[in-house]
Structure 1
Amino acid sequence: MYKNDRLNLILDILKRRKTISMQELQALTFSSNSTLRRDVITLEQDNKVIRKYGQVELVKSKNVEFPYQFRNQEHETEKIAIANMATDFIGDNMALFLDSSSSVSKLIPYLEQKRNLIVVTNGLFTAVALNQYSNVKTFLTGGRLRTGSGSVLGGFALDYLNKFTADIAFISCSSVDGEGIYMSSAEQSNIKQKMQNSAKQTILLCDSSKVGHRNYYKLCELSGISALITDKEPGADLVAQLKANDVELLY
């Protein structure tokens, strides 16, 4: 079994059990003691699990920003479907803000079909992927690269964004409910807010696993976005609040 498959298997087990002994986890994963130990160390370094007293515990996702490689694999089918719907908002000759989220990065393959786009992003992996398209003029913010996240953050990045305006800002979030849109990182929120304030409209891409929850840091009210694109119909409360704030809902 490949390493990523083993890591995902461990996480799937922990999502059901929350806490499990190393001995039992070894039996369920059919791994050697040394292989399991290395895999658990990898997950611990990525803030996915905690090791203590011969047990492994799943880190609660609230208020934790996980590395890009994990975020990019989670709910990938749903994110691709969401990105496909989002392309209907993009026309030729547009300027776009793309945040560094894995959800927004799924838009990239669809941009090849458009002509003469300008994209400004704080996403390192997003900028690298866009580099292959001659129809897209890509601008990457300066600033501090947060380890593992692929995100360029901080004052330099905010100052750089001051130089641009855009037709659309495409952003994602940690969670959304009827009271607003949330993030687990103030630094990430600052970048997204700057993009929102400098764009004619903001479109939120958010898979259904993030709907109906909240984090400690509020990115904005629902009125701060023009549209929410997700993969399933949200609960009645959120639907009603989106309608009250004149936010278009697509799923």
Structure 2
Amino acid sequence: MRPEDRRQKIMDILLEAGSASIEDLANSFAVSKMTVHRDLDDLEQAGLLRKVHGGASIESSPQFESDFRYRERMAAAEKRAIARHAVSLIEPGQIIILDDSSTAGAMASLLTEVRPLTVITNNLSAITALSGVAGIQLIALGGAYSKKFNGFFGIVTDEALKSLRADIAFLSSSAIEGTQAFHQDQEVIQIKRQMIRSARRSYLLADHDKFSRQALHFLADLDLFEAVLTGGKITPEASAALADGDVKLISTHSEESENSA
């Protein structure tokens, strides 16, 4: 097996399982542990995984964000619920921004319910879903494509956003601590911040696992957002911090509980 093919299969294993040991990977491909180490070094250098003691992981850490394909599978039902509520906040005729996140991407297929719309996005999944859809004026932000984030970033993306204005921006972050949002990647943060500046108002979309977590880089104070939308029950400590900071939290979990009562 060619090294590039083996490394792709290593990624396939990690996308399915989240983590794997060097010993198991060596046995799976009938190669030496040293060969696996070299494969993991190359994949880590590309930002696709992180090496841990005795193996590798694709799961998020304070310094590492997971591959888009892995994040898309995590909390999928909750993200769909968040996406549906987010779409309910949009009115026909508005201009909206969707960021690169899997939660914002889940909104794309629902936007036909509120056409006509203008959609600005760097999210390749959203671009693919909305291309050629009647009633949707799609403005696809160019830039350097990131396979890991399945979106476009960099100077070209930033400059395009600076020339645009929108009614609402929908963004996500990988971690929320207290009343602040964080992310592991500086380039991603740069584009998200410009999206906030380019919109009259913004909403933060975050599944409940994002709360009380840390990531390397500060993104924004939560009071910059109209509200934080989540789909699950967060801890009392996280809820208290938001209340003390006068941050509005909208939980689809609470709404579903009320509707079923």
Q: TM-score range by the shorter chain?
A: 0.7 to 0.9
- Taking structure 1 as the reference length, the TM-score comes to 0.81
Q: Partners in 1 of 2:84 and 2:234 — Cα distance?
A: 19
The residue type equivalent to 1:223 in the other structure is D
Q: Partners in 2 of 1:79 and 1:223 — Cα distance?
A: 22
Confirm or deny: 8 A CA contact 1:7 1:43 kept in the other structure: no
**Matching residue within 10, 17, 32 for 2:17:** 10
Alignment partner, residue 188 of structure 1: 188
- Equivalent positions of 1:26-37 (< 5 A) are 33=30
Alignment partner, residue 245 of structure 1: 246
**Residues 1:132 and 1:73: Cα distance change in structure 2 (over 3 Å):** farther
1:66-102 deviation line (CA, Å, top 9, x unaligned): 3322222222121111111212101111100100111
Confirm or deny: 8 A CA contact 2:98 2:120 kept in the other structure: yes
Unaligned runs of 5+ in 1: 15-19
**Residues 1:51 and 1:114: Cα distance change in structure 2 (over 3 Å):** same
* Cα deviation, residue 41, structure 1: 5.4
**Residues 1:146 and 1:58: Cα distance change in structure 2 (over 3 Å):** closer
Alignment partner, residue 224 of structure 1: 224
Secondary structure at 2:114's aligned position in 1? coil
Q: Partners in 2 of 1:101 and 1:43 — Cα distance?
A: 26
**Residues 1:5 and 1:154: Cα distance change in structure 2 (over 3 Å):** closer
- Equivalent positions of 1:160-179 (< 5 A) are 160-179=160-179
CA RMSD of aligned residues (A): 2.9
Secondary structure at 2:100's aligned position in 1? coil
Alignment partner, residue 233 of structure 2: 233
* Cα deviation, residue 24, structure 1: 9.5
Q: Partners in 2 of 1:231 and 1:41 — Cα distance?
A: 37
* Cα deviation, residue 5, structure 1: 8.0
Percent of aligned positions that are identical: 24
Confirm or deny: 8 A CA contact 1:44 1:51 kept in the other structure: no
Alignment length (residue pairs): 235
Alignment partner, residue 6 of structure 2: none
Confirm or deny: 8 A CA contact 1:169 1:202 kept in the other structure: yes
- Equivalent positions of 1:73-84 (< 5 A) are 73-84=73-84
Secondary structure at 1:97's aligned position in 2? strand
1:194-242 deviation line (CA, Å, top 9, x unaligned): 1111212111111112111021111011111111111212222332333
The residue type equivalent to 1:230 in the other structure is T
Q: Partners in 2 of 1:147 and 1:5 — Cα distance?
A: 14
Q: Partners in 2 of 1:23 and 1:164 — Cα distance?
A: 50
**Residues 1:230 and 1:51: Cα distance change in structure 2 (over 3 Å):** closer
**Residues 1:204 and 1:51: Cα distance change in structure 2 (over 3 Å):** closer
- Taking structure 2 as the reference length, the TM-score comes to 0.78
More divergent stretch after superposition (193-202 vs 142-151): 142-151
The residue type equivalent to 2:84 in the other structure is N
Secondary structure at 1:110's aligned position in 2? helix
* Cα deviation, residue 151, structure 1: 1.9
